[in-house]
Amino acid sequence: MRGELTVGLIRPEAVDHTDEIRTCILNCGLIIYEARLFEWTSLRKTEEYVGEFCYHQPEAIRAETIRRFFKRRTPVLLIHGPDCIDKFLRLTGTCSNPNECDCDTLRYRWGSHEPVELEGGIKFWSNGIHRPSTPEEATWDLATFFGIEPRC
């Protein structure tokens, strides 16, 4: 298999749009190599995962993300193609806040445009989809969700 691999997690608020999201991914020339539903059965494992990709966020954001992931099973997509990390990043949107993403991105289309106000006045935007931003983040997600370890 030539090209890169990356992972996309469809967050609970966008699950009802999974088919549309998959179509957008395919239409931009990427391949969905595998799809599975991930059950967040372990709070500790969920906290570890959210802590890894939200390490720079306030605790209230991390707690809200964990609460939302526990709502239902998460569609997880294994995505393949040339430069797929960058292509998928551009397709999803580069900002956490959907309002700051281009209008043709997945986060703009299926994220929430009204924030939830959390404790301490912190605003939380549900952006509908998680994706790695770097090859290092992709490596972590590939190992976590698909058991794919990096090649030496």
Q: Which of 23-32, 68-77, 126-135 has the highest average model confidence (pLDDT)?
A: 23-32
**pLDDT tens digits, 106-120:** 999 999 999 999 988
Q: How far is CA 22 from CA 10, 11, 93, 103, 150, in A?
A: 10, 13, 15, 18, 25
The vertex-113 CA angle with 97 and 88, nearest 5°, equals: 50
- Cβ(106)–Cβ(115) below 8 Å: no
Q: Which CATH number fits domain 4-9+11-133: 3.30.70.141, 3.40.50.970, 3.40.1360.10, 2.170.190.11?
A: 3.30.70.141
pTM of the full structure: 0.86
Q: Give pLDDT tens digits for 36-50.
A: 998 877 667 777 777
64: left (phi over 0), alpha (psi -120 to 50) or beta: alpha
